[in-house]
Amino acid sequence: MNPQAFADVRVLVVGDLMLDRYWWGEVDRISPEAPVPIVRVGQAEDRLGGAANVARNIASLGAKAVLMGVVGADQVGRELRALLAQEGIEDRLLEDPQIQTTLKLRVLGRQQQLIRLDFEAQPTHEVLKNKQAEFRRALDQVDLVVMSDYGKGGLTHIKDLIALAREMSKPILVDPKGDDYDRYAGATLLTPNRSEFFQVAGRAQDEADFEHRAQALRAKLQLAHLLVTRSEEGMTLFSATEPKLHVHAQAREVFDVSGAGDTVIATLAVGLGSGLDIQSAVQLANRAGGIVVGKLGTATLTADELFSKD
């Protein structure tokens, strides 16, 4: 297909927002205070994380990303919004002065992550309720919706959001979290990873049992499609009407799987929005995931990379 088709796609991303902060440095000695390495920090970088990283991936592919979520009225929230502007992502964020914006600080020495520090708080009920009215207005201007759940409270009312999107005939792609999948009922597509799927559906004894459990979960939740990403085994699509599709993982050296799920669902959304059928979109998303795991941190890729003939 022509990647220029991506430019006409508009995707609304809703979910948990966070800022990924990276500190890189040299490690050449152990602390005399405790048996831990001393990192002499020489480089720092902030990147969009969570649902914001999904939007970043969509924008990197050349499509239009509209982002909704909740941030605090703090410096981290302001830095996150500045990054959205730099990436050309439409900012539909709501502020909750009672919380701090989620921040994940990773310290790396010699390209290895040594520790991650998380700073987070759930948004208040009133702010989340207000998001539903804004969500309805935003739906008018987009082709489809991605809901990125990181379990931070930003999608507490996801049942209502799914109902609104269905009412307006917008496809709904959900990256789930936790073990309560009933809240995702009625979505178009769900993209759990292998461990998330087993947590909800139970561990499969063999491939036939895996398919049985997947189709049972898909039918129970009234999903058109269930895509299980299976790490080194690739990914498998289970649909209501099409036959099962399994695509093998790209044969690439894995450096970092951080954010790979964000890239997969972003590519799925852009592919479907540009007119691809679900099976073609899954194959494209599998290729995208294989590319980004070869990059350090929450990375993205461009349409040129995705369609290159390497």
- As annotated, the active-site residues are 262
Q: Where are the alpha helices (DSSP H) in the chain?
A: 51-60, 75-87, 125-139, 158-167, 194-201, 207-220, 260-273, 278-292, 303-306
How many angstroms separate the Cα of 77 from the Cα of each of 15, 102, 275?
15, 8, 35
133 alpha-carbon distance from chain centroid: 23
How many angstroms separate the Cα of 220 from the Cα of each of 5, 196, 216, 223, 226?
34, 17, 6, 8, 11
Tokens representing 60 are 């990197």
Tokens representing 63 are 């499509």
- The closest alpha carbon to 5, from 308, 305, 303, belongs to 303
Output phi, psi for 12, to 5 deg: -95, 125
